[in-house]
Amino acid sequence: MTVTYEAWANDPLGWSHFLLALIGLASGPLIFLWRKGDSRHKIAGYVYVLSMGTTNVSALLIYDLTKSFNLFHFFAVFSLIVLAFAFVAIRKFIVSGSAKYLHMHAHTMVWSWFGLVMAAIAEVVTRLFDGLLLGGSGWWPFLVFLALTMAGGSWLIKNLTHRFVPEYADDRACFRLKHC
């Protein structure tokens, strides 16, 4: 199978959408791996939020696949809502010091990145295997695959987030003043 770049983007909007999504895919793991609350984490977080926000807005402007609002557009709107919750949660944590907001921030950011990974998988399938989805039954195996992947991701997110967030949630001064 020969893959051309036209399979990924046909115009500047498509290219910017693609490149911004790649920035989000790359910055997400840095956010998870770096120390929470320090300047690197915050900068990577802002890069992620800006790249994801613009990726989602550009997704809402692209109609090449079905010529109408589709599942990808729905998930772009949903992703914007998740990003907003994550941003509001960390602001509420900084003001209140309540660990519940830090946990909410962590969960929503991880879900945001995992959703981006799922979108990348969906894009690969729709761009490279478009014949699979054009038939009436092609969507069902794809949706089952996505559902199973989401279930596995949900389990990982629940277990990993609870494992890493508590060390930061207990010390508000450490997080705000960065002296720990």
- Summarize the confidence of residues 133-158 as an average pLDDT: 75
Residue 44 near residue 27 (C-beta atoms within 8 A): yes
What is the pTM assigned to this prediction?
Answer: 0.76
Q: What integer pLDDT is reported at residue 135 of this predicted model?
A: 59
180 confidence band (pLDDT: 50, 70, 90) = very low
Residue 52, pLDDT > 50, answer yes
How many percent of the chain have pLDDT more than 90?
26
| 3-class state of residue 62 by DSSP | coil
Residue 103 near residue 169 (C-beta atoms within 8 A): yes
Query: Distance between CA 17 and CA 29 in Å, rounded?
Result: 19
| 3-class state of residue 36 by DSSP | coil
Q: What integer pLDDT is reported at residue 4 of this predicted model?
A: 46
1 confidence band (pLDDT: 50, 70, 90) = very low
Q: How many CA atoms lie within 13 A of 129 on its CB side?
A: 12
Please, which residues have CB within 8 angstroms of residue 123's CB and are 6 or more apart in sequence? Answer: 8
